[in-house]
Amino acid sequence: REQIVSRYAEWGAFSFEDKQDLTREKLQELLYHHGLIPGPEGLIGGSIAFLECLRDARRRARKTRGDNILVLGETGTGKELLAAYIHDCSGRSGRFVTFQADLVAENLIESKLFGHVKGAFTGADRDQEGCVEQAANGTLLIDEFGDLPESVQKKLLRLLDKNTRTVQRMGSDKEIEVDVQVVLATHKRHILDPASGFRSDLLQRIKAGQAITLPPLRERQDDLDLLIDFFLGKAAEVLKVAKHRISAEAREMLHQYAWPGNIRELAGIIEQAALQGKHLTLLAPRHFQLPAGHIIAPPPATASPRAAAPSPVNLSGLLTQLNAVQFDAALGPALKGKYNDLEAAFRQLQIRFLAAVLRDRHRHESRSDKLLPLTAAMKWLHNTSRMDATEAKRQVARLLKGADPQALEDPYLILALAIARNELHNRNPQSDPAVSAKLASEPRLQEAYRKICNDRV
- Low-confidence winner among 249-263, 305-319, 435-449 (lowest mean pLDDT): 305-319
More confident residue, 283 or 444: 283
What's the pLDDT at 385? 84
- Low-confidence winner among 69-73, 140-144, 183-187, 188-192 (lowest mean pLDDT): 188-192
Mean pLDDT of the chain: 82
The share of the chain scoring above pLDDT 90, in percent, equals 27
More confident residue, 228 or 165: 228
- Residue 97, H or E segment: strand 96-100
Rounded Cα distance between 240 and 232, Å, is 12
What's the pLDDT at 445? 85
Q: What is the mean pLDDT of residues 37-46?
A: 66
The pLDDT tens digits of the residues spanning 101-118 come to 988 988 889 899 999 999
Q: Which CATH number fits domain 61-213: 3.30.930.10, 2.70.98.10, 1.10.8.60, 3.40.50.300?
A: 3.40.50.300
What's the pLDDT at 376? 85
Four-residue CA torsion sign, 269, 270, 275, 280: positive
CB contact at 8 A, 232 and 275: no
The share of the chain scoring above pLDDT 70, in percent, equals 81
For the chain, what are the domain ranges? Answer: 61-213, 221-287, 335-453
More confident residue, 46 or 37: 46
More confident residue, 400 or 26: 400
Is a pLDDT exceeding 90 seen at residue 98? yes
| CA-closest candidate to residue 147, choices 93, 207, 103 | 103
Confidence band of 306 (pLDDT split at 50, 70, 90)? very low
The pLDDT tens digits of the residues spanning 371-391 come to 888 888 888 888 888 888 899
The pLDDT tens digits of the residues spanning 194-232 come to 777 778 888 888 877 788 999 999 999 889 999 999 999
What's the pLDDT at 381? 83
By three-state DSSP, how is residue 431 classified?
coil
Rounded Cα distance between 161 and 157, Å, is 6
Confidence band of 456 (pLDDT split at 50, 70, 90)? low
Q: For 103, list phi and psi in degrees, rounded to 5.
A: -105, 0
- Strand 139-143 and strand 181-186: the pairing is parallel
CB contact at 8 A, 342 and 366: no
Four-residue CA torsion sign, 118, 121, 124, 128: negative
List CB contacts of 270: < 8 A, sequence separation 6 or more. 228, 231, 232, 235
- Low-confidence winner among 182-186, 309-313, 314-318 (lowest mean pLDDT): 309-313
Domain 221-287 falls in which CATH fold? Answer: Helicase, Ruva Protein; domain 3 (1.10.8)
By three-state DSSP, how is residue 100 classified?
strand
Is a pLDDT exceeding 50 seen at residue 304? no
Q: Which long-range contacts (CB under 8 A, 24 or more apart) does 424-428 make?
A: 424/371, 425/371, 426/370, 426/371, 426/372, 426/374, 426/389, 427/369, 427/370, 427/371, 428/368, 428/369, 428/370, 428/371
What's the pLDDT at 353? 84
